[in-house]
Amino acid sequence: MSEEPEISRPLRPLETISRPTIAVPAGAWDAHIHIFGPADRYPHVAKPHYTLPDGNLAQFQALMPVIGMERFVIVQPSFYGTDNSCLLDTLDVVGDTARGVVMIESEIKDAELEDFHRRGVRAVRLDLFKRARLPLSEIQSYIRETEARVKPLGWHLQFYAPGYIVRDLIGFLRTLKIDYHGGQRYPFLEQVKGEKDVLDEILKPLAPVKK
């Protein structure tokens, strides 16, 4: 991944966004969005992959009726690392309209996890880009330890990972309850037969997955 952050583009005007061509069910969820806030209130990580995006809560709420969504899942972006303040503040504002997916440090206290749950969090996102250079055994241990921490709350796991890590962990990933796998930014053709083959493997019945 490049050391230079990508330049985020402004949100498109609502009037340029196409409406769904199918009948969207009542109560439909947008299952993966990011919310960003003012830089002076929510500091980013030391080396973000991109500049502060144009995407606050008010903007998304204005978009929801255009695309037919009534509820949504806020996913913690790598931009904020494990500081979930923006996500949690947003959940406090919108209440049962949304749920959250946080990123956490391994030493987080149970009481803090329980507070997250009370405020609407239901999953944890694991950034495997940060751990991509570790031995696979250590990555697996990290995943299992995180799973054990959140399982009592009924949470599941979400992954942000490079393709070659997914390739090497396919058998292991099939033993987990997975919500989403993201991060396929590079061609797989030199690593495996193709991205579809990887997804076909992960999507076998042993591992529930949301694409």
3/98 same-domain check: yes
Per-residue pLDDT at 174: 81
DSSP calls for 156-209:
EEEEE--HHHHHHHHHHHTTS-EEEEE---S--TTTSS-HHHHHHHHTSTTS--
With 60 as the cut, is the pLDDT of residue 206 above it?
no
With 60 as the cut, is the pLDDT of residue 207 above it?
no
91/142 same-domain check: no
Rounded to the nearest angstrom, the gap between the alpha carbon of residue 118 and the centroid of all alpha carbons in its chain is: 19
In Å, the largest CA–CA distance within the chain is 50
Split into its structural domains, the chain has a count of 2
Per-residue pLDDT at 170: 84
150/89 same-domain check: no
Domain boundary among 103, 121, 155: 103
The answer to whether residues 126 and 146 touch, using CB atoms and an 8 Å cutoff, is yes
143/192 same-domain check: yes
With 50 as the cut, is the pLDDT of residue 52 above it?
yes
With both helix axes pointing from N to C terminus, report the angle between 136-150 and 110-118 in degrees, rounded to the nearest 10.
60
Lowest-confidence region among 28-37, 119-128, 163-172, 200-209: 200-209
SS3 label, residue 128: coil
Q: State the Cα–Cα distance between residues 197 and 70, nearest whole angstrom.
A: 34
Is residue 122 assigned to a domain?
Answer: no
Per-residue pLDDT at 203: 54
Q: Rounded mean pLDDT of the chain? A: 87
141/182 same-domain check: yes
Which phi and psi (to 5°) does residue 32 adopt? Answer: -160, 100
Per-residue pLDDT at 41: 96
Which phi and psi (to 5°) does residue 25 adopt? Answer: -60, 150
The answer to whether residues 156 and 123 touch, using CB atoms and an 8 Å cutoff, is yes
pLDDT band at 198 (very low <50, low <70, confident <90, very high): low
User: How does pLDDT run across 103-138, given as a tens digit for each residue?
Assistant: 999 999 999 999 999 999 999 999 998 999 999 999
pLDDT band at 197 (very low <50, low <70, confident <90, very high): low
User: How does pLDDT run across 135-154, given as a tens digit for each residue?
Assistant: 999 999 999 999 999 999 99
Segment 81-98 mean pLDDT? 98
Question: pTM of the prediction?
Answer: 0.86
- 96 lies in which domain range? 1-103
